Amino acid sequence: MQNQSLPPVRVRVFISGLVQGVGYRYSTRERAKNLGLTGWVRNLPDGRVEAVFEGDKTTVESVIDWCRRGPMGAEVSDVTWEYEEPQGDRTFEIRR
């Protein structure tokens, strides 16, 4: 019997707090790449960071947990997310 993998999930995450100017996007990209996730991350004009992660559900949930802490120097006050239809992203990038 073949091991059938579960379909990927996609989640859009909004991170609030002191999350710009502290390397949050770069750390997020490295964390996502190391976990084998695809998607993107960017700063928003209102001071939040927005990220989209796509991959298996367990790994996506683990990166959401990481987003609650972020990199050293970040002070995360809130994290919200919503699930979306997977888009089949192939890489993880920082968007401007």
25 is known as an active-site residue: yes
| Nearest CA-CA partner of 8 in 53, 48, 70 | 53
Residue 6: strand pairing partners: none
Residue 81: strand pairing partners: 13
Q: Does domain 9-86 have CATH number 3.40.50.11930?
A: no
Q: Which amino acid does the sequence have at 28?
A: T
C-alpha to C-alpha distance for 56 and 86, rounded to whole angstroms: 11
Domain ranges of the chain: 9-86
Encoded tokens for 34:
């190391």
C-alpha to C-alpha distance for 89 and 72, rounded to whole angstroms: 28
The per-residue pLDDT for range 52-96, each reduced to its tens digit, is 999 999 999 999 999 999 999 999 999 999 999 999 999 999 999
Annotated catalytic residue within 12, 29, 31, 43:
43
Query: pTM value?
Result: 0.93
Annotated catalytic residue within 3, 10, 12, 25:
25
The per-residue pLDDT for range 39-48, each reduced to its tens digit, is 999 999 999 9
43 is known as an active-site residue: yes
